[in-house]
Structures are given as C-alpha cells and as structure tokens.
Chains A and B, each alone.
Chain A
C-alpha cells in the first residue's frame, strides 16, 4: 500500500504566476553569473591567492557536502537550490581555482597579450587557456546526455528527435518522482557553465578566429545566436508556474544570456567591471548583491505547489 502525505493546496498568489516566476528566476540567474565572478575575486582577495589555490580542493568538498544533503532531501525546491549552489562551488574550486593553480603556479604558462603592441594582459589568463582545451572532453561527456533516454533536457530531447533516436532509445523508465533534482541541478550547473565558457573561449581564441574581421564576425554571430537562443528559452521560461522548475530552466537561460556580456566586453562595447572589481564599485556591487539576495528570499518564501516541497512523495510501501 502506498500513501500520499496530504497537505493543503497553497492559496493562489496574485504575484507568483506567469510571467513573474520566470522573469525573477531569469534575473536571478543572470545576475548570479556575474556575482559568481565577484565571489571568486573576493575569496582570492580575502584568503590570498596562494592560500586560495592551496585550499580550493578542500573548499570544493563543501559543494559535495551540500549535494549530499540535497540528495537525501525529499523537497524538490531544496534539492534544486542545493544542487545549484553545490555545482557553483565545485566548478569554482575544482575547475577554476584548480586550473588557475595548474596554469599560473605549476605549469608556468603566460597570459595572452592584447592591445597596442601586444603589451596589455588580456582576460585570457592561463586557466582559461587550459579550459579552452577541454572542449573535446566536454563534447564527449555531453554524448551521455544526447544518447540517454531518461534525459529531460529540452535541448537533448530536440537532438534525439532530429537524430531519429527516440524509437531506438525507447520510452523513459523514470517518472518525475524517480528523479533526484539535487544531482540533476548540480550536473546542469556544471555543464551549462562549462559549455558557455567553452563557447566564449573558442570564439575568443586568436589561433582560431584571428584578431581582425573574422574575429568580429564570429563574435557578432555568437551574440546573434546567444540572443535568439536565450530569448527563445525566455519566452518558454516566463510561462512557468513552479519556482523549482523555473529555477532549473533559468540556469541555462541566464548563462546563455551572459555569453553576450563577455563578447560585448571583449569588443570594448561594455564592461562588467562591477563584478570583477567590486572595490572600485562598492555601491553598485552592494546594490546588485542586495538585489540578488532579495530575489533568493522572495523565491524561498514564494508559495509552492505540494510537489515542489515533497508533500506528494509516495512513501515506501507499508
């Protein structure tokens, strides 16, 4: 016999309905990408670079501990938040800081130079040169999701459809209640961040696109793709009613939109210095951080459907 935990349906909210849920989660994730830059800079500044790089492998375990709590939880919303923050921490510590140590302190790589006479240090630091070389690894690992019949990611479902894989893969064997959203969100955060980094790094690589017209053309094409892609996803996101689902969907939308920020900065058309040099923009950075925390708080207290808080979980057969 299976039981269902009964909880009253939440009162209908005038605020938390489309398109508010989608817009709030999009803004949260978009600003979140920038603030993740700030967090890295602050950690490095406060601990010192050498200490940061030395302890980053250990710091990364805090993301795994978070994930452990999330996986044990039955609350989908909690799983989603924990998976997101766990993924961010692990990416930051086990990828960015670790590559930083390898490139700057271990392998003795030099930064790419830019500007007049090639005498300005460009933003392509050694760790990003290493990261650019991981594109093959990324694509190889994405094969798993492309050929996984249980994936629910719309992009991979689209690929499966276009590649005629649906029949061969067969029907999914998992239902929503079989899924653990902590690990799903964790992996989503890692792969989306990785993918967007790789995208930017490939189009910025002068060995591939040069520094002249081809560079500008490729990067403007990237902006076009990123705007259309993020815009298309946003039109779907603003129809979401469940905050947990919207949060997960907003991770790629915010990151793809952020690809434009990096490109426009590279083309000297804008700057995101507020995120990477918060000391020079204390007020602005504080406002953005305050807004980010407010959005998180709003989403945490937003009315949830019972399925988002695990109230409809079917308990073990008695």
Chain B
C-alpha cells in the first residue's frame, strides 16, 4: 500500500435535503497507485461524480463529507485549511470535466486562463508562463498553438476545448488527474484523439488517472483497474480483465451484458430490470437487491465488501462463479 499516491478510506458524503440526510457516498474506499489508471464506473446517480468532487474538496453545500480520509501521498486532504487545499488542488490533483466549457471561462482568452493557472502556483514571468502554455498546448496535439493560444473558447471546437482543458489540468504535472466523463460529449474520432493524448501523457509522466465514466467499452481500452459503483457504494473492484471477464457482482454482470456486442446481433439485449432507486428510498439491505436475479432473504441484510482490498473486492452475498 506504500506505493499508492491517493488513498481514499471510508469516504462518506451526505446531502441535507428536505427528505432528511441523504448518504450520497457510503464508505467509499479506493486507492490509486502511481501511473495507474483507475476507472470509476456507474450510472447516473451512483455517486461517481460526487466521489471526484469529494476528493478535490469541490463539494458545495448542502453536500458535505461526513467521514473518511483522502490521503494524497500520506497527507489527509480533508483536514487541510482552505489555503493549503488550494495549494494542492490544481497542482497535485487536477480535474477534467465532461463539459470543457465548465472549466474554461468564456470571456477570457486561452492564454490568460493558462498563464493565470500557472502563476497561481508558481513564480513565473508572464512571458515564461506564456511559452509554457504554448508548449502544453502543443503537447496535447493542438496545431498552431501560438495562434490558438490567443483564441477565446468559443472559437475552438469541442474536441479542441477538451484538449485545452487537459493541457490546463496537466500544466503543473499533477500526481493525480480526475477525469469526469471527459469524452462523453465528443464524437468517436475525437474521443479516440482525447483518449490517446491522455493515455500518452499519463504514461510518460507517471501521472495517476481516475477516469469516471458510464461507458464500459472506453474503460476496457484504457483502465488498469475498475471500481463499479451503485447507489453510492462500491459494489465491486479489481483488475480490468477480472471485472470484465469474470464479474462477481450481478450488477456488473448486468452492465456488461447490456452493452451490444457484435456477436448477438438483432437479438434482445440483456436488460437489468427496473432502475436505480432514488437515494432517499434505498432499501436497508443490498441496494441492488430489488433488481437482482440472485437475491435471497439474506440480501435484506447489508453485504460488506468481501475479498482483499489489494486484489478484488465485491459486495454481494451470492457472488457469481468464474465460469459465468
């Protein structure tokens, strides 16, 4: 465990709503090693984005972290003063969002935004910062970076904006990059370009990557390990091949089977019955039990994570056998 860059232990985040306190994250425990790509997979409302926000201290009320630790190289980010956290955020832990317009200020030119980001953490002259910015743009594959750096975000295409966002995220050589559905809004060919850029840069620099997505197919190509979330809990995690080829949790199995594969053309896709319950109406036991084909009376009790945290873990009383 000594090699992990980011160690999240028992992270609980809750939102105070009119219906009472809602637990959006329920004891989430994850770790990412240096240079590793961890995919956090789940459907809308599973808590995957909230996990990213909680790590980075970006939650806004009524959300708050109620328990747990986020250890970055051994320092607990949750205990840091705002000043110290600002020093870490953006420099050590960077974030890429689904919508690049969310990260880019629409009324500032790219050069202003990039040099501001640089000078926030480092003592640099404007000129030096600008040349660093141009270098960073070239690295993410933007053609004619000297000209593009003077553009406003609306003058760039969606894929180019996302590259700028990636360039900004990587400016300070962070230890961890959290990418929240960064290719979901993009076309297939542009998605391929973004994947290749992120993959190359993280490999070259040994940056760890947490890739948050609902798209299992993207994950298959890029991830080393996968953690599957459902209703605010991690239901299964492990190495990519184990999870995709030999899932133990019925939900993971269901997700994999829902993806159309070239083999079973025209037939009915496997479907998971029903939908994820709202977090205010979670059952007491296993959150997936109402949709689960394997549920028994035992599932009225809450399953804990089984297995080993360094290898594979699953949260199910009736895990699937390897033959499935």
The answer on A and B forming one complex is no
Residue positions of B touching A, CB distance < 8 A: none
